[in-house]
Chains A and B, each alone.
Chain A
Amino acid sequence: MPRYVMVIDQSRCVACMACVVACKRENDVPAEHYRTRVVEMVRGEFPRLRSEMRSELCNHCDNPPCVNICPTGASHKQADGTVQINRRKCVGCKACITACPYDVRYINEEHGYADKCSFCQHRLKEGKEPACVATCIGRSRMFGDLDDPNSEVSQILRETSWRTLKPEVGTKPNVYYINQFPRKS
């Protein structure tokens, strides 16, 4: 069984938002909601500015608070490492939304269930990458099986310095961010 992870190289992100659009299109996400977002930050004072582009999505944590709090088992962890939602079982109590430290869940207002990124589970079953990865023009988003030592993500995580978001919460995320080092002058 694979263990899916996503690796994000922020230095390759151009903030084109193609991932945001591809995700909405692929997963039929309602107009007012998003499963992934791009955070653009500019720090410092002109002319000494530094910008950071960071894609954020469900971290498919190994210790997922959303799964732990879910009273019906609708939110669950699968053997492939992904966190999925069984819509049939969801009562719309919204506990998972408050439990998520990354604020990546929302309520599908038309149907009432909680929703979020699924790593495009339907595409994985067809052997395809998630839509955001497939569409990323800068190859900022990479996806693969961490249990396969020859996969691109395994090699990158072996060879580079990386971090996860909000490690202090103890969720053990499966979305990794390659650290950017300041360029030597």
Chain B
Amino acid sequence: MELNIVGTNAITYPAMHVWDWRVAIYLFLGGLSGGLMTMSAINYLRPNRTPESTCSWQIPVLAPILLTIGLFFLNLDLERKLNAFWFYLTFKPVSPMSWGAWIVLIIYPLMILYALASLPKDVKGKITTPAIRNAADTLQPYLLPLAKANVIAGIILAIYTGVLLSTLVARPLWNSAILPVLFLTSGMSAGAAVMIIVAQSKEVKLFFTKVDIWLIITEVVVLLLFFYGHYTGDAAHRQAIMPFFSGSHEFFPYFLSIVALGVCLPLAIVLKFLEVTGEHTEELTTSGLLLMNASAVLVLIGGAVIRFAIVYAGQLSGYGGYM
């Protein structure tokens, strides 16, 4: 067949390239900060928590910082940045992007209040601005309800990033109800990984290592179901996952992403399993710490690879093309 088209736009032809690494980074950091909100709050709320394993205050502070960085990249992607105020002059119930804008507006204060409430005395003492110190003191008694709210808010934030893409019916790769669940498990797993890296206490590290094992297993199962759902779907959905499995030169980065996920996630499970089953001394040894951090970094790499691969490959998918 010979095809000649007069009047194509470079943004959509020969393949769509509308959203790039900026959106992928936002989706990754949004999911990660959601995961951090939930995981740090779970750490505070879990019943058998010892005083030494109190949540590292750095985590609740890190969550809004990562979300801010993510939103910065998202803002970089907007073509009319000064018009962004229109997000907050409209609420469209059918638009996931409108929901996202409002969710961020509600979640942000919740994150910041939780971060302030969880500041320990010695850290508060170092704060030179009295208003912030006083706010942290005032919020301290509300740490429990704030932690509970953060568990839910973190889940909403992490799942929203997947909902945004999954509603786009024109892009069969994204148009799957499993995608939000995949992004949720990936975000939670990445949150647990950062908890492992940042937490000081051995008990916290081991607790989140156990949590992460289950989260990664869930993530792998959901990822397999995601591909299975597409494979058994209509022609457009089946075609949409082909870049990952064709192995051709044209789609090599997507094939590589599957290889990377196939290595990172199972390897992280094995390393974590060895960590939780192995004998540990009072203090973690340097090699033990290194192994723990290495497996956590593998999880983070896996989470980033999923976001980048899905964002880029989704834009290659469509219904029928010009045939």
Decide if B90 touches A73 in the complex (CB within 8 Å): yes
- A residues 39-61 in Cβ contact with B at 8 Å: 39-43
Residue among A73, A91, A101 facing the most chain B CB atoms (10 A cut-off): A91
Of all chain A residues, the one with the shortest Cβ separation from B4 is A40
* Alpha-carbon distance between A100 and B169 when the two chains are bound, in angstroms: 9
Given A69-B168, A166-B320; A97-B18 close (CB under 8 Å): yes
Q: Does B112 have its Cβ within 8 Å of any Cβ on chain A? A: no
Decide if A90 touches B4 in the complex (CB within 8 Å): no
Residue among B8, B80, B81 facing the most chain A CB atoms (10 A cut-off): B80
* Alpha-carbon distance between A112 and B2 when the two chains are bound, in angstroms: 34
CB-defined contacts of A97 to chain B, threshold 8 Å? 11-12, 16, 18
Residue among B18, B94, B101, B315 facing the most chain A CB atoms (10 A cut-off): B18
Decide if B90 touches A71 in the complex (CB within 8 Å): yes
Give A15-53 as 1s and 0s: 1 = Cβ < 8 Å from B's Cβ atoms. 101001000000000001110111111110000000000
Decide if A37 touches B170 in the complex (CB within 8 Å): no
CB-defined contacts of B100 to chain A, threshold 8 Å? 71
CB-defined contacts of B11 to chain A, threshold 8 Å? 97, 106-107
Decide if B170 touches A100 in the complex (CB within 8 Å): yes
Decide if A41 touches B169 in the complex (CB within 8 Å): no
Given A94-B79, A98-B18, A112-B80; A168-B319 close (CB under 8 Å): yes
Decide if B79 touches A92 in the complex (CB within 8 Å): yes
* Alpha-carbon distance between A92 and B11 when the two chains are bound, in angstroms: 13
A: number of interface residues (CB 8 Å) = 45
Decide if A98 touches B315 in the complex (CB within 8 Å): yes
Given A90-B80, A169-B169; A101-B318 close (CB under 8 Å): yes
Shortest CB distance B75–A (Å): 10
Of all chain A residues, the one with the shortest Cβ separation from B10 is A32
* Alpha-carbon distance between A70 and B168 when the two chains are bound, in angstroms: 11
B: number of interface residues (CB 8 Å) = 49
Decide if A98 touches B90 in the complex (CB within 8 Å): no
Residue in B3, B18, B318, B323 whose beta carbon sits within 8 Å of that of A94 in the complex: B18
Residue among A39, A40, A72, A94 facing the most chain B CB atoms (10 A cut-off): A72
Give B4-28 as 1s and 0s: 1 = Cβ < 8 Å from A's Cβ atoms. 1111111111001011000000000
CB-defined contacts of B322 to chain A, threshold 8 Å? 39, 41
Decide if A91 touches B6 in the complex (CB within 8 Å): no
- A residues 96-150 in Cβ contact with B at 8 Å: 97-101, 103, 105-107, 111-113
Decide if B79 touches A103 in the complex (CB within 8 Å): no
Give B225-244 as 1s and 0s: 1 = Cβ < 8 Å from A's Cβ atoms. 00000000010100000000
Shortest CB distance A51–B (Å): 9
Q: Does B89 have its Cβ within 8 Å of any Cβ on chain A? A: yes
Seen from chain A, the residues whose Cβ lies within 8 Å of a Cβ on chain B are 15, 17, 20, 32-34, 36-43, 65, 68-74, 89-95, 97-101, 103, 105-107, 111-113, 166, 168-170
25 inter-chain pairs at a CB distance below 8 angstroms, sorted by A residue, are A20-B7, A34-B8, A36-B7, A38-B6, A40-B3, A41-B323, A42-B2, A69-B96, A71-B98, A72-B83, A72-B92, A90-B83, A91-B78, A92-B79, A95-B97, A97-B12, A98-B16, A98-B171, A99-B168, A101-B170, A103-B13, A107-B11, A113-B79, A113-B80, A166-B320
Seen from chain B, the residues whose Cβ lies within 8 Å of a Cβ on chain A are 1-13, 16, 18-19, 77-81, 83-84, 86-87, 89-90, 92, 94-98, 100-101, 167-171, 234, 236, 314-315, 318-320, 322-323
